[in-house]
Structure 1
Amino acid sequence: MRGALAPERALGRRRERGAQIEWFSTAAGRELQAPSPLTVAGSGRWDFLWTEVPPDERASAAVDLLELDDTADAARIEVFARSHNPGFEGFPGRGFATLWLGAADDHGDLIAVGSLHELASGAPHLAGIVVHTDHRGRGIGRALTAALTRRAIEAVGVATLGVYSDNAAALAVYAGLGYRSAHRFETRSLVMLDRGP
């Protein structure tokens, strides 16, 4: 991109201003040399998907969904989600979510959660979708995704989400709900180098 800062310089400038950077995204395959004393770790390869077509209401009719509160239900959501996906990135209780939906069993215990976050662009972004390991493959995740997608499209006419590029099962569900790939990207964590004793 003409006139854009190299990622290394951009990260260095952020550090000079006192900003704490934990992770960043880059184009797929783009290498990055982190400024000292940071190093780059991990490699999350993602597809960024979008749709403007609301899923058929029948896609979520078979599952009773409940609305959860980002603040009051934050601990409940976090404990459930982390126990079924250690990499959970829904950030309940931090004010990112404009909506949380969930499904519960007959005892009131959560069996699925998912949220809508608002991107800087104003577009609703599905995040933190987790289904209990014992309840996967029953259409609960599809129903939850369909309901969140419909709510997003009703609000602003579009829905977006990110999914790991190698998650074929999720990609198939999202394609079946009308999502299309906008682009692929990678995320990296920035870690402080161990300087020893």
Structure 2
Amino acid sequence: MEQKSNKNIVTEFYRNVVRLRKSEMIADYVHENYIQHSPMGKDGREGLFEMVEFLKKLPPVEETTPSPIVNLIAEDDYVVAHLDIHFMGKHIRVIELFRVQHGLAAEHWDVTEEPTGKNEPVINIKGLINEVGLRDNEYIIDLYSKIDDVIIHHLIAVHAELKQAGKSTALFDIFKMKDRQITEHHYVKQVVPEKMMHNNGMF
């Protein structure tokens, strides 16, 4: 049997466990000692089981509803999922990171945000971000990873922590690159809550 890619594992997890709410399939995709960093989730499979059982009480997702997945990025043991979700009357942007181990999701991070339509970074035709975001694409390349092998239509994900005025904010950025220029930028930010459902933090 051909081994599934980490992207396929995460995609199937979204469809079977989250969309179709098959809690009995959690063990097929998630490690027994699943480490949770999402503030609203619990460690282990049991935390996911509780989430799916809650979702079962809501109206099912219609088959014609488009997938919320905007981008999937995979490298080594990690998969980043960029989601655009409409849930319970809310519009939510989510960027999630999974660490996959031996074919199972072993660790999970996410950052979620309800878009306000204000202060959104805007990419102009020169590939620069306005004053709300970072100004220089070369600066971004040097700042994050000294990337020397950026290729056409390469996607770069950045998970970071910002500390200001004694508060911590979780950030997730996705940059689309072409010829060492930023052509597209998506980001979400979330203030790190003081209390979470675990002791793992958001990073």
**Which TM bucket (shorter chain)?**
under 0.3
Q: State the structure with bigger RCO (CA 8 A, min sep 6), 1 or 2.
A: 1
Q: Which has the higher strand share?
A: 2
Decide which structure has the larger Cα Rg and report it.
1
